[in-house]
Structure 1
Amino acid sequence: MMWVRIFELFAVAGFAGLSFLGVHIMQGGKKSAIIVAILASVSLLFINTVLEGETGKGIALTAYCEVRDCKTGRLAGSSASELSEFLDGFDEERWQNTNSTEILASALELYDKKTLIDLAKAGDSRAARLVGAAYSIGMHNFKKNSLLALQFNQICADEGSRSCMHNLAAEYYKRGSKNPSEYTKASYWYHKAARLGELNSHASLGSLYYYGRGVKQNYAEAKKYLKYATDNGAKAHAYLLGDIYEFARSYPFRKIELFDNQIDSPDPRFVDYPNAIKYYRIAAQQGDQSAQVRLGFIYEYRLKNKNEAIRYYTMSAKQGGVFAQEALQRMGITVETEVPEDIVFADD
């Protein structure tokens, strides 16, 4: 290891220098100091050679391996208490605002996987959060495992971690497609996390109320949760909020006659295009094709703004959106065709 050799050379030079300085100060003789410095250097090199011959490691590497595992670089003989102290070094703000994967990566650079799991099993909330996230996503040599993700997220959720409550709810939600009763559990934990201020849980609750998963379908409740989350910076499910405003879903529909049939239709008095556009745009900027298409449709047919319609249809078409591609073809534009230079897009 090149860095070890360099370090050893500096160590020898430093030791020699200190020996020279010490003798020179104590006895005042430069000649004696030089002799002592040479003897010290030779002795250190001899010891280094002997160590390398017996253990394969010189002085520097031997010292390094006393502190860290020579193969992995992790702290040697690290204990759960040391790992707990390391995790406590992250303040609460960082725990709330930093992705679990970043902290997990930092922990695994120094400590082994088994130590982390053992600490989590012992009830350490922060270790449990990291292990739960690792099993949920499947990363850093943790094989994706829904049951283990539930187990470890439950540990820290019971300790009051709102992030773990949200992660636990998300895990139940993923299982809901096969077992709808899991949506009820997801709703329970999303509600708990939201009451503690977890912004993403507000957005997720909005989605649950919109679709009626684990709760009774209620567009007014969906609007409340989605608006709070989106207005405070959450990006997820902004499309649903735009949809609620465009189709006035939080208000009673009216019956209209269509081909001798009575159908439900949004009450035009409550249709809110400005807010629909506002929240569709947030979703569109995240790459949501449904939002891009709805914006194109609103601008083309409702607001009669061809330029903006082309803008949003193009966003979707470039991602392979068939409806948007057909809409552009109807307007004489293909995805490969450059947008005409005389088209000026409105500011966001």
Structure 2
Amino acid sequence: MVLRYIYGGRLSLEEYDTSDIIKILNPELPSDPSSHKEFSDKIYPYKKILPKDLRENLIKYFINQPNNNSEPNMTKEIDSIVATSNERENFSTEKTYSIIADEINNFIYKLLNEGIDRKLEKQEVIEYFNDHNINSQKFYNWLVNNKIHTSFIFLSGYFNYHGIATSKNYSEAFKLFIGASAQDHKLAQYFVGESFLDGHGTTKNEKVAFEYYEKAANKNLPCGQNSIGYCYKNGSGTDKDLKKAFYWYEKAANNGNIKAMNNLGLCYIYGDGVKKDYDKAFELFQKSADKGYPDGIMMLGYCYDEGIGTKINKQKAFELYQNAANYGSEVAQYNLALMYEKGYGVARNIEKAIYWYNESANQGYENAKKYLKSLWIEKFIISVSGHVRSLVDH
């Protein structure tokens, strides 16, 4: 690129080695130091394009040129140019990662406020890095050394919480969330609440969890509003109050949180804090399902299965259970197994029923464990009976 600059683009670097290029450059080097600097100022911005070994050899050559008594000055000038360039590179890296940090912070904010399922959240963030060609390890290393802004502190905690580009470390995550929360970072306050509710990195304390959820909810954070609704619904860290639960679920749902839409639909089905309304429940489950929330998809299947707010359609119910089960919903996996066992909406298949009961049971769903045990016993009896019949026939 240096040679193209000098010779108007008529030269290919591949055709020359360092000594050839120095021979060509030598006539271009003026005798006074100020002109040397002018020359270097013009060509040095192209240093990234030059091969590293060529660049280093050229700089050494410039510095070692006998030029009366100007060598010390020239050395200082080149050092100054190199230092300035390095500073620009560092500034560029800082600026780039700062922009990336803001974008990722906004992306996580969007994911949580839309109500993404916990099981899908980490993968979505990892895919964001892959889709944008960002090295998550380098970015995390930069975060660790640049905890100068609240969002950087929060992101460091988030990476530790989910084990992204580092080992999962709830204790470190909690410390960082507390630090960012103290500076009024809304998402950090939400995650402090999550940490206290689940006992991640700290002693489980539902009352303190409620207080942090309340801070986030009062700042109009939809995921915080949904969580405080959960606390009122279940009496976690506060007195049980179904009307307040309904209020916060509705507020979060109106702010676009698909998890809250599903929870609000459940309120309408069971009459929790509001009069029962199956049509509204079906509508909310449909909205939640359309936006990809696994439990919303599962509950929409349940509506078709039982005829809640719509006509019974076992095949449609089966398809929706299958969809939600593939996302990892343990209740949907249980319902799907039941469909296979009974032959509802699909041909009866005991093997597949056992498979899906097992998937659900592995996630701790008690009903699935119970049915799985009885199904294994049934299968064993059928197998033994067939064997006995075979012996009798023989």
Q: Which of 288, 306, 312 does residue 247 from structure 1 map onto?
A: 306
Corresponding position: 1:218 with 2:277:
yes
User: In structure 2, what is the Cα distance between the partners aligned to 1:250 and 1:316?
Assistant: 28
- Supply the distance in 1 between the matched residues of 2:266 and 2:237 (Cα, whole angstroms): 14
User: Given residue 321 of structure 2, which amino acid in structure 1 is its aligned partner?
Assistant: Y
1:233 counterpart residue number:
292
The amino acid that maps onto 1:136 is L
2:364 matches 1:316 = no
Q: Which residue of 1 aligns with 2:210?
A: 150
Structure 2 CA distance for aligned equivalents of residues 28 and 142 of structure 1:
70
Q: What count of residue pairs does the alignment treat as equivalent?
A: 248
- Residues 142-190 of structure 1 show CA distances to partners (whole Å, capped at 9, x for unaligned) of 3332222222222232222222222322333342699431x33222111
Pick aligned residue for 1:95 from 94, 109, 118: 109
Q: In structure 2, how many angstroms separate the alpha carbons of the residues matched to 1:171 and 1:304?
A: 39
User: Cα RMSD over matched residues?
Assistant: 4.5
Structure 1 residue 121 displacement after superposition: 4.5
> Where do 5+ consecutive residues of structure 2 fail to align?
1-59, 73-97, 113-117, 126-152, 161-171, 362-367, 384-394
Match of 1:132 in 2: 193
Please give the per-residue CA displacement for 1:167-224, whole angstroms capped at 9, x wherever unaligned.
322333342699431x332221111111111111112222232333333333322222
1:106 aligns with 2:166: no
Using the aligned pairs only, state the percent identity.
Answer: 19
Residue pair 1:314, 1:324 contacting (<8 A) in 2 also? no
Equivalent residue, structure 2, for 1:197: 256
* TM-score normalised according to structure 1 size: 0.55
Compute the displacement of 1:132 (Å).
2.7
What residue identity is the alignment partner of 1:127?
A
Equivalent AA in structure 2 for residue 172 of structure 1: Y
Which of 282, 296, 305 matches 2:347?
305
TM-score w.r.t. length of structure 2 = 0.49
| Residue in structure 2 matched with residue 260 of structure 1 by the alignment | none
Cα deviation, 1:8-31, whole Å, max 9, x if unaligned, reads xxxxxxxxxxxx9998458779xx
Amino acid at match of 2:251: K
Contact 2:210 2:237 in 1 (8 A): no
In proportion to residue count, which structure has more helix?
A: 2
Partner residue of 1:281?
322
Three-state SS of the structure 2 residue aligned to 1:197 is coil
Where in structure 2 are the equivalents of 1:1-348 lying within 5 Å? Answer: 24=64, 88=102, 90-97=104-111, 104=154, 106-107=156-157, 117=178, 120-121=181-182, 123-139=184-200, 141-175=201-235, 179-181=239-241, 183-236=242-295, 238-250=297-309, 270-285=311-326, 286=328, 287-288=330-331, 289-299=333-343, 302=344, 305-306=347-348, 308-317=349-358, 319=361, 321-327=369-375, 329-330=377-378
- The DSSP-based 3-state class of the residue aligned with 1:236 is helix
